[in-house]
Every structure is written in C-alpha cells, then in structure tokens.
Amino acid sequence: MKTLNDFDFKNKKALIRVDFNVPLDENFSVTDATRIEAAKPTIDAILKQGGSVILMSHLGRPKGVEEQYSLKHILKTASEILGVPVQFASDCIGKEATDAAANIKAGEVLLLENLRFHKEEEAGDVAFAKELASLGDIYVNDAFGTAHRAHASTTIIAQFFDEKKCFGLLLAKEIESLNKVLKNSEKPVTAILGGSKVSSKITVIENILDKVDHMIIGGGMTFTFVKALGGKIGDSICEDDKQELALEILKLAKEKGVEIHIPVDVVAANAFSNDAETKIVNVKEIPDGWQGLDAGPKSLEHFKKVVMESKTILWNGPLGVFEMPNFANGTVELGNFIAEATANGAFSLVGGGDSVAAVKQFGLEDKVSYVSTGGGAMLEMLEGKVLPGIAAILE
C-alpha cells in the first residue's frame, strides 16, 4: 500500500483529492470543519518536505455551476486551519486552473473550484480526469468519504500517474482501522449495529458474521427482529417484509457461533416526541399506541457486560432516537461503555453518520480509538466490497 512515506515531495506538485464537502450556514460560513482538519496532516507533511499542494474537492450536489456550492466559501476556514493562505482557482480545469497550478511555488496551497460544477466528474469522464491529472506531479487520494464512487477525481485520474500515486495519511488510517476490525482483529470482536432499518445493514451483517463473536442489534432495527420472534411491538417502527430475513440472520449467526444480543427492555413513548409520556417496558410487550424509542436499563446492563469483555469493537448506528434528549440515554451510555473498554485496551472503531454525530455531541471523540470520516464508504468496506477509489491506487 503506497502512502506519502514512499515519495519525496521536494519541488513536486501534489494533486490531492480531499473531501471538503463541509456544511455551511445561510451566510456560507463553515459550521463543522472536521473534514478540513482531517486532511491537514497530509497537507502539512507535503509542505514540510518542500512540495506544493493542489486540492480538489466537491461540495454538495450542484446542478451545474451554482454560487452557493462554490468552494471559495471555505477559503477563510481552510487558510486558518492549514496555517497558510490558500489560493483559489475559479475552475478546476481550463486556462485559469492550468495557470494557477503552473505558478504555485513550494510551500503554497491552491484550492480548485468545485469538481461537480462539471458533470464529467460524477460520470467518470476520462478526458476530464486527464485534464485534472495534468495539473500535478504526484496524485494523492485522501478522500475516504468518496472512495466508494468511481468518479473522475477519485478513481479514473489514477491511471494517468503510473507509479506516482498514493494514499494520504487519512485514507491510509481509514483502511488500516477497518482492516483491524475485519482482518487483524483481536478477539472477542463485537459489532454494534443500530439505526432504523435492517434493510440498510443486511449486507454488512452477512459479511461480518464470519468476523465477530458478538453482535448487538439496537435502534429501530430491534423491532423487526422482536416481531419476527413473536413479540408485541405496539406502534414501533418495523420492516414487516424483512421479518423472515431477520430470522434467517439469527439462524445463520447460531450456525457460525455468533451471539446476537437484542434489547430486552425499552423506553417506550405514547408519541414520537421528546415531550411524550414514557415508561420502561419489556421489548416483547409494548402496548398498542406506544413505541420503543430507546434501549432500557436491563438491556444496557447486559450490553455493558458484552462491551467490557471485548477486545475489538465496531459501532455503527445509535441505540435510540438520540436527537431527542429523553431518548438519548442508551446511545450515551453505550458510548461510555465503549470509551471505558478502549481505556482498558480494546480497539474501537466508530463510523456512520449518526454514530459519529453522537460521539461528537457527547464528547466521546477522543475516548474511542478511531472515528471514521466516511459513512457510505465505510459501510461498503464492511459489506466486503472493494472501493474503486482504493483499488485505483493499488493497481
């Protein structure tokens, strides 16, 4: 696996695919700079060696050129985080981009305009990729969040660099962390899968059953399993057409010697609202008109025991509707259990939009081993897929 360490960037122009798809408020100010901060170590390392950096990214889902999706809005934040004034080219190809790239000097950073202002980016257009490739000497992919897309800047471009292509520090760390769970894990391994739908996690479950010892199932997914097992789930969320699949998963897990842990009690509410009336009920006996919105105390007690005995932990998806304070306890407590297990020497990987949002919201980011930056990309790796952006560097 080629990384930055395999190259000398002195007097070289590094063309880096970063993921600067950051949220902006109504005044176009960056509200969460995590992704820019995540790319900083790679950029710093190249500048330190006397190289220059040309950054490519997308922002949002523009239909052609749309002012609100211009990357010029993030220049101020990027300059502050990187500690150097970031120059800007108002296009990513054509004369302006070519001239700006030609004039960049060692120690300088240039940001190209939004790649998705050109439909050729998402189409994986070869001519477009070739034009981007002409701007730099060495191609560095540091965008895990888009590694599962075969776009021009993430995948197609790599063919124009022969041996002069590598992973950035962030992407290398993502691959290493996922491999630590999927290939080189210390046992016992526990996967915690939450969220609302079984259907969105089914291929993940099937792929990782061979690699884990325990699987905790939480969140809305719980009720599809409980109903399939003959429980009464009241008005709880449920994918009725996935009940048979849920039973198959349980059967398969048993055959493979994997212990599946499902909540035994829940915090039920008489409406989907933070102000609803609540009570703790057996997960198989939720009254009509009530719905389970968080894991109950007995479930958490049991989950804690499983987590504390684990040496490798993967967490993807919350245990309840954590956006509402009254139903956040299960997710917060689970985060605390994982933090404690990590402090005791376990390796913990957290990924997927909601889980990442939860660890940040509850201040647990520095208490787990690694927080993944790519939701969709991480899920596809967990499903056992080869990501095109990663394969393109390895070829």
CA–CA dist 313, 205 (Å, integer): 14
pLDDT value for 384: 87
pLDDT value for 353: 66
Quick: pLDDT tens for 277-335.
Answer: 999 999 999 999 999 999 999 999 999 999 999 999 999 999 999 999 999 999 999 99
390 against 373, higher pLDDT:
390
Q: Which residues are catalytic?
A: 35, 197, 353, 376
Nearest to 355 by CA among 323, 385, 325: 323
Residue 191 half-sphere exposure toward CB, CA atoms < 13 A: 26
Q: Is the pLDDT of residue 360 over 90?
A: no
Mean pLDDT of the chain: 95
Residues placed in the known binding site for substrate: 19-21, 35, 58-61, 116, 149
Q: Scanning the structure block, which residue is given the tokens 């940040």?
A: 360
Residues placed in the known binding site: 19-21, 35, 58-61, 116, 149, 201, 292, 323, 352-355
For residue 129, give both structure tokens: 């990729």
CA–CA dist 314, 251 (Å, integer): 22
Quick: pLDDT tens for 126-159.
Answer: 999 999 999 999 999 999 989 999 999 999 999 9
CA–CA dist 2, 339 (Å, integer): 32
% of the chain residues with pLDDT over 90: 86
pLDDT value for 377: 85
pLDDT value for 342: 97
Nearest to 377 by CA among 143, 120, 202: 143
CA–CA dist 246, 220 (Å, integer): 13
pTM over 0.95: no
Fold designation for 185-382: Rossmann fold (3.40.50)
Q: What is the mean pLDDT of residues 108-123?
A: 98
Matching fold, domains 4-171 and 185-382: yes
Nearest to 164 by CA among 12, 52, 42, 47: 12
Hey, where are the domains in the chain? 4-171, 185-382
Ranges of beta strands (E only) in 40-173 are 52-56, 86-89, 109-112, 138-141, 165-167
Q: How confident is the model at residue 164 (pLDDT cuts 50, 70, 90)?
A: very high
Quick: pLDDT tens for 55-103.
Answer: 999 999 999 999 999 999 999 999 999 999 999 999 999 999 999 999 9
DSSP code of residue 326: G
Q: What is the mean pLDDT of residues 166-187?
A: 92
Q: How confident is the model at residue 197 (pLDDT cuts 50, 70, 90)?
A: confident
Burial of residue 48 (CB within 10 Å: 0-12, 13-18, 19+) is exposed
Residues placed in the known binding site for (2R)-3-phosphoglycerate: 35, 116, 149
Tell me how many helices (H) and strands (E) the chain has. 14, 17
DSSP code of residue 269: E
CATH class as words, domain 4-171: alpha beta
pLDDT value for 357: 84
Q: What is the mean pLDDT of residues 204-221?
A: 93
pLDDT value for 263: 98
What b-and-e string marks burial along 86-121, b requiring 16 or more CB atoms within 10 Å of the CB?
A: bbbbebbbeeebeebbeebeeebbbbbbbbbbbebb
CA–CA dist 365, 385 (Å, integer): 27
Quick: pLDDT tens for 21-40.
Answer: 999 999 999 998 989 999 99
pLDDT value for 373: 79
